[in-house]
Amino acid sequence: MVPPTGEPLNVWIDSTVDSSVQSYPNIKAAGEIYEKYINDNGGIAGRPLKVTFCDGKTDPNEDAACARKGVADGAIAFVGGYDTDVSLLIGVLEEAKTAWFGACCPVVAKEFASPIAFNMGSVFSFNPGAAAKMVADGCMNSTYIVGDNATGEYFKSQAKTALEKLKYTGKANYVTLPLATTDYSSIAAKATEGDVDCIHGFMGDIQWLGLIPAMEALGEKPRLYGPQGNLNGKVAEAFPESTEGAVIIGTYPNIENAVWEGYRAALVKYEAPDLDWNSLAGLGTWAAFEGFRLIVEKMVADGITDINHETFLAASSATSALDTKGMVGVIDFTKQWDGEGGAFPRIFNRNVFYDCVSGGKLSPCAEPGPFDASPYHA
């Protein structure tokens, strides 16, 4: 393999690691491993990739500081990042005409609508996707838990709309979880009140690790549903009995899928740390960098040799068929979405996949997807 040459393609990642609320060291590590992997395989269009990580620490002001640092460093784009509120970061990137590219998990209004946001994930469809699966599984007394953040109430409304469209005749309970709580007893009591048979928790693994033992203390073991990378392998391994039969709603297919062959090999070759790699964080970061690679290679093939933040932004905006070979569906960044009243134009992907838990391990469900949740949105 011919080593890459020339000026490195300079990209940044913003996420959160040093935080007691949510921590995604696998986003940081996935970016670093992808850098090694792609450079050992000839780079991107023959040029080396340089990845810089910046920790937003679950603080919007820290995220904005990361954006300013990246812009000052000449970042071509911010690739594959996530934090709970990147509104200020998006504002900085808008002014600098720099893309927020490939995000797994847009959760705030700026990410849903900004012209510099090129989201690849489908977490916006997790609530409709969860409702559809729960109804199909026969759940008749369900609780939906959402975090106490900017999108919590909207996520509740999504679940309600989906259940109406699914003609659900059972009971539905809605609980808000303070993300910084350390006492889960009251949340567990509210979530399981009234012989609840199924719970969907739109929350991180830290919250799951607190909620499940609190439910066990009450003698409650409802069937659990949760987002990919949050209701994860770590949670399943810690509580194999309580997670038996649990369902994970994901943006990406299971890591066992053939599309992740290079990803799996890279994790082994570069001695990845012991983290959850079958996750939104891990899979999503890898898919985002593959999307970045595909667009840059197309730019070079089209004769664009000056790869910078403005030319990449323009090329992304003109990409009508980003094909990652099944990591996500083919994405058209030129066609904005008019669903949900037209307030979320930058939600390009609404397909979900399902993993099932047995014996503390995750594997694809009998019908893993992709499942198009679009009909269950408002």
pLDDT per residue over 325-351, tens digit each? 999 999 999 999 999 999 999 999 999
- Tokens matching residue 363: 């594997």
Q: Are residues 131 and 181 in the same domain?
A: yes
Q: Are residues 152 and 301 in the same domain?
A: no
Tell me the C-alpha to C-alpha distance, in Å, between residue 150 and each of 19, 179, 201, 364: 18, 12, 16, 31
Q: Are residues 183 and 99 in the same domain?
A: no
**Per-residue pLDDT, 100:** 98
Q: Which residues pair with 144 in a beta bridge?
A: 174, 200
Q: Are residues 186 and 246 in the same domain?
A: yes
pLDDT tens, 18-61? 998 889 999 999 999 999 999 999 999 999 999 999 999 999 99
CA separation for the pair 288, 251 (Å, rounded): 12
Residue 241 lies in a domain: yes
Please report, rounded to a whole number, the percentage of residues in the chain having pLDDT higher than 90.
89
Q: Are residues 240 and 363 in the same domain?
A: yes
User: In degrees rounded to 5, what are phi and psi of residue 286?
Assistant: -60, -45
Please report, rounded to a whole number, the percentage of residues in the chain having pLDDT higher than 70.
100
**Per-residue pLDDT, 208:** 96
Please state which of the ranges 20-29, 52-61, 82-91, 267-276 shows the lowest mean pLDDT: 20-29
Q: Are residues 113 and 64 in the same domain?
A: yes
Q: Are residues 113 and 136 in the same domain?
A: no
**Per-residue pLDDT, 1:** 79
DSSP reduced 3-state for 277:
coil
Q: Are residues 157 and 143 in the same domain?
A: yes
Residue 3 lies in a domain: no
What does the DSSP assignment read for 221-242?
Answer: -PEEEEETTTS-HHHHHH-TTT
Q: Are residues 269 and 224 in the same domain?
A: no
Place of tokens 């079958």: 278
Higher pLDDT, 108 or 62: 62
Residue 146 lies in a domain: yes
Q: Are residues 60 and 108 in the same domain?
A: yes
**Per-residue pLDDT, 138:** 97
Q: Are residues 29 and 99 in the same domain?
A: yes
Q: Which amino acid is at 226?
A: G
H helix intervals, the chain: 25-40, 60-72, 87-96, 109-113, 126-136, 152-165, 185-192, 205-217, 233-238, 261-269, 280-301, 309-317
Give residue 104's domain range. 9-122+257-347
Helix axes 126-136, 152-165, angle to 10 degrees: 40
Residue 4 lies in a domain: no
Q: Are residues 244 and 370 in the same domain?
A: yes
Count how many domains the chain has.
2
**Per-residue pLDDT, 288:** 98
CATH code of the domain containing 131: 3.40.50.2300
Q: Are 116 and 98 in contact (CB under 8 A)?
A: yes
pTM to 2 decimals? 0.86
What residues contact residue 186 under an 8 Å CB cut-off, 6+ apart?
none
pLDDT tens, 316-327? 999 999 999 999
Average pLDDT over residues 286-297: 98
Residue 151 lies in a domain: yes
CA separation for the pair 339, 336 (Å, rounded): 9
Residue 142 lies in a domain: yes
**Per-residue pLDDT, 295:** 98
Q: Is the predicted pLDDT of residue 353 greater than 90, yes or no?
A: yes
CA separation for the pair 215, 58 (Å, rounded): 27
What does the DSSP assignment read for 106-145?
Answer: --SHHHHH-TTEE----GGGHHHHHHHHHHHTT--EEEEE
